[in-house]
A and B are shown apart, each in its own frame.
Chain A
Amino acid sequence: MSATTIAKKGNHPSNTDSEYLLEVVDLKKHFPIKAGILQRNVGSVKAVDGVSFKVKRGETIGIVGESGCGKSTAGRTLIRLYEPTAGNILFKGRNISNMGESELRRSIRKDIQMIFQDPFASLNPRKTLKYILSEPMITHQMYKGKERGEKIDELLEKVGFNPMFVNRYPHEFSGGQRQRIGIARALAVNPDLIIADEPVSALDVSIQAQIINLMEDLQDDLGLTYVFISHDLSVVRHISDRVGVMYLGKMMEFAIKKDLYDEPLHPYTQALLSAVPVPKRKGVERRERIILKGDLPSPSNPPQGCVFHTRCPAATAICSEKVPEYKEVKKEHFVACHLY
């Protein structure tokens, strides 16, 4: 897959021959908590606290976790929408974690685009489709004059729209259609990597399937790489090649999809997978349910040791003392747990 992808992307010279498009090393994002008249720092919310993973060209990485686990913050930090507190982000072999804003805009921004969750809030209601789709091209000075109109028609056709719609406004479209517009906008500047943050969560299931199919078709067509952030474990299983599970700002487990879903190693992944209600299907055994006690602890005051030990059915004494190391325990199967 990766060889053909690079061939297709001939207009984007790559600085390195590495098979990885994106490498995230020990990424941290802490938000300060300020209090008092002087707004002194009294602590921090460790939204992302040491996350590492690598993304190959042309693959889809799924990141799952419950609300508040830091998956969206991780997605936004790794494209520098938030300034990282620590850690390195290597995109096409270049470290972008401390690159200046103007250089970032000149050389990286157009290669990474984002699709957002809420198709109602992420499109400007006062602009026509034509403007919404040309704005990224204006910013990056691409496709001038007649070419721009042609590109917009092409984009609309790609996402299943009639090019006649260019002069319409977002309110004239349904949720699923708006999400298609969001996808077309992300594609306007021919990106390599798309960060999709809960792109189908706000949609009905029949529409959700249309959007997922569209994203898969576009990936095959254009050789795109996706980082797909979602709380829906079934959707992530369907679309991803490799999947990471986050809990309280930490990556708990990261593996090839099949390994993660068939043989989850981390107790949290096991509990999470068992909690998903699945429609009965003939000949499919249901997983034995592990009900986790209690709620997610606050990320401003995470538990000592392993962050999951307060809810973990397999916790032992060491879990509350020492932070487990995130290590490769099987081939391409990373886990942060004292059991392994």
Chain B
Amino acid sequence: MTALLELRNLKTHFKRDKIDIPAVDGVDLTINKGETVALVGESGSGKSITSLSIMRLIPSPPGKIVDGAILFNGNDLVNLTEDDMCKIRGNDISMIFQEPMTSLNPVLTVGEQIIEVLMYHQKLSRAASINKAVEMLEMVGFSRAKALINEYPHRLSGGMRQRVMIAIAMSCNPKLLIADEPTTALDVTIQAQILDLMKELSVKYDTSILIITHDLGVVSEVADKVVVMYCGQVVEEALVDDLFDEPLHPYTIGLMGSIPSLEGETDRLQSIEGTVPPPEHFPIGCRFAPRCPHAFDRCRAEAPKLVEVAGRRKVRCFLHSDKEATV
């Protein structure tokens, strides 16, 4: 398998009141061709900032990619000019957002918003773009696509808008689709439709997907590989089956214990005590140490590194790195 996207030690910092806030603090991540990778974490973990960094959509100032590389097909996106980046956005890498209500332009028809992308990136004529737009809308499951291109977004429901977003995002046949909480605002029956559609499209067009979510159910449904983030760092990375069979990092274990099961009974949920610390107060040692039930002295003094375990997964925790070292 060849890597399509590779993040190497990505650091995106924000400046607030002259203090440097490390929102993303040294993230390594690889997405292979055709692979679906899920980025999981709670609010404040830096998962959305990571995705916006890949798209180079970080508002600057106050944000800045201060270190690291974003290799897309071997080219470093960090050093591209804004003009070159525009050619990649929406064409090679496209993105769908959480809020389908606010990410479509309310004063343009649905058709216009798809045609715009096609004419800009694919240099198609207007007539050809219209045909392609209808085709895209049919592909995402609209039966009356011809009529739909003349309608405005407010006439559509949340699920329909998200399908229009997917049609726009897929219209240039991107190599990578970044989906930031694509189903969080939707009802479960609609969510099931959208997830099904994304899976189908990724197989059909061999598109890689980076899906950002806090919902472990969605993760186990669509992902091949899972990356768990906490406080701007990757704390665990594993194939989806490995992760759900045996989570290693205490944070991942805590997250899984926090969700009630739909099947069978659980007496009491294992919650994680405390809250995510704000970036200006990250602890010196392991960032999870203050909330971790297994923390010992070393965790509070020294920051653990992300180490490879069992040859195919990575974890940032002394419980596992020590064990590996002594073996």
B-contacting residues of A (Cβ < 8 Å)?
Answer: 66-67, 174, 176-177, 204-210, 212-213, 216, 231, 233-235, 237-239, 261, 271-282, 284, 289, 291-292, 295-296
Interchain CB contact under 8 A, B220 and A231: no
B193: CB under 8 A from chain A? yes
Q: Quick one: which of A209, A234, A271 has the most chain B CB within 10 A?
A: A209
A67–B189 Cα distance when bound, in Å, is: 11
Does A204 contact B214, Cβ atoms closer than 8 Å?
yes
Closest to B196 in A: A291
Tell which of B42, B245, B254, B260 has the most Cβ of chain A within 10 Å. B260
B243-281 interface mask toward A, CB cutoff 8 Å, 1 = contact, 0 = none?
011000000001111111111101011111101100000
Q: List 5 A-B contacts (CB under 8 A).
A: A209-B269, A216-B268, A272-B189, A281-B244, A295-B190
Task: List the B residue with the shortest CB-CB distance to A261.
Answer: B262
* B289 partner residues in chain A, CB cutoff 8 A: none
Q: 9 more A-B contacts (CB under 8 A) besides A209-B269, A272-B189, A273-B262?
A: A205-B214, A205-B255, A206-B42, A209-B257, A278-B220, A279-B220, A280-B241, A284-B263, A291-B192
Chain A residues near B195 (CB-CB < 8 A): 277
Q: Is the interface of A mostly helix, strand, loop or mixed?
A: helix
Q: Once the chains are docked, how many angstroms separate the CA of A29 from the CA of B142?
A: 34
Q: How far is the CA of A292 from the CA of B2 in the complex (A)?
A: 37
- Please measure, in the bound complex, the distance between the C-alpha atom of A209 and the C-alpha atom of B291, giving whole angstroms: 14
CA distance A235 to B259 in the complex (A): 8
Contact B188 A237 (CB under 8 A): no
CA gap between A142 and B86 in the complex, in Å:
64
Report the Cα distance A231→B190, complex, angstroms. 13
Interface centre among A174, A271, A277 (most CB of B within 10 A): A277
Cβ of B159 under 8 Å from chain A: yes
B217 within 8 A of A: yes
A240 to B219, CA, bound (A): 26
8 shortest A-B CB distances, which residue pairs? A238-B260, A277-B217, A209-B271, A209-B258, A66-B187, A206-B272, A209-B269, A275-B192
- Is A237 in contact with B157, judged by CB distance below 8 angstroms? no
When chains A and B are docked, how far (Å) is the Cα of A282 from the Cα of B218? 17
Contact B188 A238 (CB under 8 A): no
Which residues of B have CB within 8 Å of A280?
220, 240-241, 244-245
Partner of A206, one of B157, B189, B271: B271
- The reply on B29 being an interface residue by CB < 8 A is no
B159 contact set on A, CB distance < 8 A: 295
